[in-house]
Structure 1
Amino acid sequence: MATYTIGQMAKKLGVSTSTLRYYDSEGLLPFVGRTSGGARVFRDEDMPMINIIGCLKAGGMSIKDIKRYVDLCGEGDATIERRLDMIRGQREAVMDKMRELQDNLDALDYKLWYYQTADRLGSCEQVDALPDDELSPKMRAVRHRLSH
């Protein structure tokens, strides 16, 4: 069984050592061993859980809820349904965030189109005067969303 120092594991995962220390200090890594001198000892088997912790955190889940998830995982199969509920809820939260980000991207795409068109036509007033039927359906929808 291969073991890794915190630096080696951080490199394998593409995270900083301070991230792993933080996760450990918050109780998210109860499965990580220690040497007699107190240094953390990571194993290949730890990688999937550390990766999902990073995924949950990046998706906006609170540390408290991530800890609850990790604790439930440690309790075994009796908690599968509760873990499933948590993952479903987190997935929905991420989907909501993705929709919000897509709306923001659409608005930025609209403004890019708007200023490129204004540059080509010579003024913003000329773009504002364009009838809706001269805009693509996407640009028309964003124009209306931004103007209301």
Structure 2
Amino acid sequence: MRIAEVSKQYDISADTLRYYERIGLLPRVHRNASGVRDYDETDLARVKFIKCMRGANVSIEALIEYMQLFAEGDATLAARKAILEEQRDLVRERIAEMQAGLDRLDYKIAHYEDLIVEAEKSMQK
């Protein structure tokens, strides 16, 4: 699959895909005889993984470390698991912070709804 197709399928710019390759998140993508990147299923699985992890706000640095360990093989299983656990804990913290913000918004909206009802009652008098 060409870079434009991958870009469209995963909603990631071609520049971002090239950047991921340049910094080592993606290994060098095979190129066809014309020199055009030709993403295979393994590359696509990695793009999907990276997109998911970035969507969870996992840092580029943590992903680079994870992918480097992944390339080293099964001897790094425990280290990779530790990275994922650390990132999961950070995501849980962000979720808790966001939930607190959402709860506060819900509270304020309910308060305004009460004020609007009261204002409407006083206008009818």
Global fold match (TM > 0.5): yes
Structure 1 unmatched ranges of 5 or more: 124-148
CA distance in 2, matches of 1:112, 1:52: 37
Q: Of the candidates 2, 16, 19, which is equivalent to residue 19 of structure 1?
A: 16
Query: Paired residues, what number?
Result: 120
Tell me if the contact between 1:72 and 1:83 (Cα under 8 Å) persists in the aligned partners: yes
> What do the CA deviations read for 1:34-76 (whole angstroms, capped 9, x no partner)?
2355432201222222122122223232222211111111111
Give the secondary-structure state (helix, strand or coil) at the position aligned to 1:34: coil
- Residue 105 of structure 1: how far off its partner (Å): 0.7
Tell me if the contact between 1:31 and 1:46 (Cα under 8 Å) persists in the aligned partners: no
CA distance in 2, matches of 1:112, 1:10: 39
**Higher RCO by CA contacts (8 Å cutoff, separation 6 or greater):** 2
- Residue 31 of structure 1: how far off its partner (Å): 4.9
Corresponding residue for residue 88 of structure 1? 85
Tell me the C-alpha RMSD between the 2 structures: 1.8
Q: TM-score, normalised by structure 2?
A: 0.85
Corresponding residue for residue 46 of structure 2? 49
- Residue 101 of structure 1: how far off its partner (Å): 0.7
Per residue, is there more strand in 1 or in 2? 1
Matches within 5 A, 1:1-148: 4-122=1-119
Tell me if the contact between 2:32 and 2:38 (Cα under 8 Å) persists in the aligned partners: yes
**Residues 91, 53 of structure 1: alpha-carbon distance in 2 compared, 3 angstrom cutoff:** same
CA distance in 1, matches of 2:16, 2:55: 12
Structure 2 unmatched ranges of 5 or more: 121-125
Give the secondary-structure state (helix, strand or coil) at the position aligned to 1:33: coil
Give the secondary-structure state (helix, strand or coil) at the position aligned to 1:81: helix
Tell me if the contact between 1:26 and 1:63 (Cα under 8 Å) persists in the aligned partners: no
Corresponding residue for residue 129 of structure 1? none
Larger Rg: 1
